[in-house]
Structure 1
Amino acid sequence: MSSDIHALSGAYAVDALDDIERAQFERHLDECPTCRSEVDSLREASGVLAEAAFVAPPAALRDRVLAGIETVRPLPPLVSPVVSLATERRKRRFPALVAAAAVITLIGTGVAATQPWQDETTQFSLSAADRVLQASDAETWTKSPVTGGTIKVTRSRSLNQAVIEAKGLAKLPDDKTYALWLQHDGIMVPAGLMTDEGAVAVVLDGDPGTAEATAVSIEPAGGSKHPTTFPIATFEFEQV
């Protein structure tokens, strides 16, 4: 067993090791408090995901939404910090769905929708993400967290911006959210929040150009000042 035994904590937390690897890793746990803490955090995250439950919308939802489209005036779209790529395509083809999104939110069905009239000071447009993704100096890292799905980070030093793209993330309960972080001088600082709805692309807040790393963790709804659980994915940036 090499020094990479530390990397087995995720597989151990979800019981994905064979008998020999498990025995060797458990002996390692007796001597490594860092790995013990990581295993505990990953198991806690897995437990949180197991508590999430899908709630079907009311049967009358479709009728109320269709009726509401006739009475709700769509406002000019602003920009959005967390954009569902699938929703964006639908909005371009069917402008009337902007009004439908408002009705869905107002009648409270548990269905989340991005509202184009939110405070524009907290919004980022999809085009901002596209500029980073298409930058000539874009650097990309991809990981598959043990909790499921895929997370990709793209950073452009010339733009001093970074984008986190996620697909297939596990559904979280209402009191939890995916939080984004940037690390400066060994300290993680908040860099935004991310939904678990389909495919999303989020432009990070802060200064990714000088950051040492970025990470994603599961936090209480609304976010935290500092990570309260072990990150499900961490990306170390190359330093110049």
Structure 2
Amino acid sequence: MNADIHGLSGAYAVDALDDVERAEFERHLGQCPECQDEVASLRAAAVELTHASVATPPAALRESVLQQIATVRPLPPLTGRPGQASPAEPQPPAGGPLAPPTVTSLESRRRRIAPVTWLVAAAAAAALVIGGIAWSPWNNQGSTQQPPLSITEQVIRAKDAQRYEKDIDGARATIVRSKSLGRAVIIADNMPAAPAGKDYQIWFQDPKGAMHSAGVMPHEAKPTLSMLLNGDASRYNGVGITVEPLGGSQEPTSAPIALIAFS
């Protein structure tokens, strides 16, 4: 059996052979464990891709793919020995039976089918199966996939999210904490701007009462302001807010204007 028939396995897996080629390859397939494994692997990959979710690719992907296609070198034409022309593929006699494929005809078929096999590989590479999500630039029409949530949004929407509120002279500070994520967010409603040359600084309070900086709030007044706090929120018992010099301090320099306990 000519070794070139192994090259038909990819086209066979996607049903890209004609009747004669399919019959010939199936006879070979029955006695070639290597081709059996390859065909089974290709078909299994195709099934996995059909089970995946679809995510919208980056907007720049199409331009990038088109630019890279221009750099792909095609396969060189078949040639015989130096100084000799390539033999033409034999044609069946008029009205007679089709002659058995020769080495030349099998090679010609393999070259003819090579673009099909390349297309299968390219589609599989473009469908990146990561954590059960397939990302395919050819299947994004009408996709309703939402962009990834920020860490702040993940904390606010977490199933174990807990909310702790505190009124501060007409303003309201809300701490949202997720122990499973180990993070916390402060949401300030109607919080006035910090005094000139000062900033509001947020602190985590540990079980011993010590304060650990969790960040400095933006120096501006907004109807609603949210900020992700720095540090492992699952380790602490509460949050404090102090007024500190511009840019914040290593440790509190004034009494807290608010203390919010996680209880």
Q: Same fold (TM over 0.5)?
A: no
Range class of TM-score, shorter chain? 0.3 to 0.5
Larger radius of gyration: 2
TM-score, L = length of structure 2: 0.41
